[in-house]
Amino acid sequence: MILDDGICTIFRRTDVSVPGAKPVFEYQPIYQSWYKRLSFETAPVWQTEGRQEQRVDARIRMHQYPDIRDDLDVCVLADCQTISDSGTVYRITRAFHGMDDDRPVLITDLSLVVMQL
């Protein structure tokens, strides 16, 4: 699969306060990659017992980065160094690390949910 929809930036929430002070959190960029939007179903046909229902607003494929942390890192579908108020910020709810079906390239598939900062 050709990753040609744009560049995404992964941010990690880090504590930037001085030792002993009240925690102050900021989002620091940790990785950038080309990405491709993936299709997905929003309403599964078959319900199974014990299935966890989860909302997904977008799915993307990018070059593999195994350090992504589910529910702790966020993604912006843009080439940026800061999270701005005007852009959409996605919380990463699932990261799958594997091999592309078309060619032997390591990939990461992300399931994303729009979040409020």
Are 94 and 75 spatial neighbours (Cβ–Cβ below 8 Å)? Answer: no
Q: What CA–CA distances, in Å, run from 32 to 75, 79, 106?
A: 10, 7, 15
Q: How many distinct structural domains can be found in the chain?
A: 1
CATH number at residue 69: 2.40.10
Domain range for 13: 6-40+55-114
In a domain, 48, yes or no: no
What digits encode the pLDDT tens for the residues 8-67?
Answer: 999 999 899 999 999 998 999 999 999 999 987 665 555 666 666 677 889 999 999 999
pTM above 0.85, yes or no: no
